Amino acid sequence: VGPPGTGKTLLARAIAGEANVPFFSISGSDFVEMFVGVGASRVRDLFEQGKKNAPCIIFIDELDAVGRHRGAGLGGGHDEREQTLNAMLVEMDGFDSNEGVILIAATNRPDVLDPALLRPGRFDRRVVVPRPDFKGREEILKVHVRKIPLAPDVDLSVLGRGTPGFSGADLANMVNEAALLAARRNRKSVLMDDFEQAKDKVLMGVERRSMIISDEEKRNTAYHEAGHALVATMMPGTDPLHKVTIIPRGMALGVTMQLPVDDKHTYTKDFLESQLAVMMGGRVTEEIFLGKLTTGAGNDFEQATELARKMVCEWGMSEMGPLTFGKKEEAIFLGREIAQHRDYSEDTAIHIDQEVKKIVMNAYQRARTCVEQNREALERIAQALLVREVLDAADIKLLIEGKPLPEKPAPPAAKPAEVEPAPSLKAAPKPAPAFTKGSREKPAPA
């Protein structure tokens, strides 16, 4: 059990190589087909093969495809899947014993599985495969860079510490992107700079330098992102600022990226309130410096409202007290909830809305105070963004202190290919941000 990309199927492959017994693998979606009874028949055949080759291991990938919660036939057409599940339940621990057959399954949706499938005697142990911690990320990177020549400046421990929240698949993708960047520049080894750019690409998507933006829009974006960056730097208790960019990436016109120092599992109320203030920094700056409002803050408000509502309804961080409001509807044949059950009165709903508004407006006032007290610093950050397009945390700190920025280092020269002259390649894109507390969205066309 674990989120996507953490290595559940990889773990099964490792078991297959180490167990020294017959290993059968099948996907949960391979059982049910167009003919009635095929699913149950395949389950019986699979376990029959297992009994003949005992001791053996049977591995079912994506178990949620066949092991979903049985319902009253909502939506129709589910009797076949339920029959397949019933056959599996009987084979796993029914009237006949299956000694010598060990069953392993993988899923990232344990919440939708049938309770009868998870009881002791069928699946006795639930192994959680979480996202790797700092040490785990470093070890995963060591595996992926074995066949890649690294430059002396590459420090895997720094990369491991700078990628909190990455899954094993994300790390593999990052190493692959870094190798491609180095190859594009005709280099024989991968530099630390390649890894940094690859990290940004994995987190935020590809730069869209070809996108045509007017000077006015660019200026609006620069001030908006400067507001996020200033509040993120000055506000106590927030995640440290990593990078700010006004180069369009993904669906955003600009991004302010923060990265936590360590892996976090719980959050304090002070931290959440500071993060809300960071989200409000963009709109506050537009009001004070540009004197007009833009649609660029839409995504910030969406995130802020959702976070504030969770603080009130789920985490008991408001004057409503230590209560939760709204039960999630358990939709039997749908993976996610389709509605929330209202278990509170209209009067309580009004109070919840008032508390949500109060939390967001308090964050707005904190952001406004911060921006007004540091107007000159914000102006310097915005102007530097218009010139350089990308600034990191050290640059922002220098600008706030009123010190000049160092000259930009020249990009490393590409070595010519030795075998034959290669066609000239464009320089790879500049590094740009990643995980985002306030990405500036481009408005959808009317």
CA-to-CA distance for 402 and 379, rounded, in angstroms?
11
| The residue to which tokens 């960047």 are assigned | 181
Helices (H) and strands (E) counted in the chain, each on its own, are 14, 9
Q: How far is CA 171 from the centre of its chain?
A: 12
Mean pLDDT of 258-272: 86
pLDDT tens per residue across span 142-171: 999 998 999 999 989 888 888 888 899 999
Judge if 134-204 and 215-406 fold alike in CATH terms: no
Q: Residue 308: is it exposed, middle or buried by C-beta count within 10 angstroms (0-12/13-18/19+)?
A: buried
Domain ranges, ordered by start, for the chain: 8-118, 134-204, 215-406
Mean pLDDT of 18-24: 90
CATH of range 134-204; options 1.20.1250.20, 3.40.1370.10, 1.10.8.60, 1.10.490.10? 1.10.8.60
CA-to-CA distance for 177 and 434, rounded, in angstroms?
15
φ, ψ of residue 328 in degrees (nearest 5): -75, 135
Q: Residues 39, 80: contact at Cβ < 8 Å?
A: yes
Q: What is the pLDDT of residue 365?
A: 96
Q: What is the pLDDT of residue 170?
A: 92
225 is catalytic: yes
| The residue to which tokens 């921006």 are assigned | 371
Highest-pLDDT range among 150-154, 254-258, 276-280: 276-280
Res 215 pLDDT > 50 = yes
Res 277 pLDDT > 60 = yes
Q: Residues 20, 67: contact at Cβ < 8 Å?
A: no
What is Dmax (Cα atoms) for the chain? 79
Catalytic residue among 62, 138, 225, 389: 225
% of residues, the chain, pLDDT over 90:
38
Q: Which amino acid is at 224?
A: H
Helix or strand (DSSP H, E) at 392: strand 390-392
pLDDT tens per residue across span 44-73: 898 888 888 888 999 999 988 888 887 644
pLDDT tens per residue across span 372-417: 999 999 999 999 999 998 898 899 999 998 888 887 765 554 444 4
Q: Residues 241, 228: contact at Cβ < 8 Å?
A: no
CATH class of 8-118: alpha beta
Q: Residue 238: is it exposed, middle or buried by C-beta count within 10 angstroms (0-12/13-18/19+)?
A: buried
Q: Which two tokens stand for residue 254?
A: 């600009």
Res 440 pLDDT > 70 = no
Could you tell me how many residues make up the chain? 446
Q: Which two tokens stand for residue 133?
A: 């911690």
CA-to-CA distance for 256 and 267, rounded, in angstroms?
20
Res 131 pLDDT > 60 = yes
Q: Residues 207, 247: contact at Cβ < 8 Å?
A: yes
As a CATH number, domain 215-406 is 1.20.58.760
Closest CA to 216 of 283, 301, 294: 294
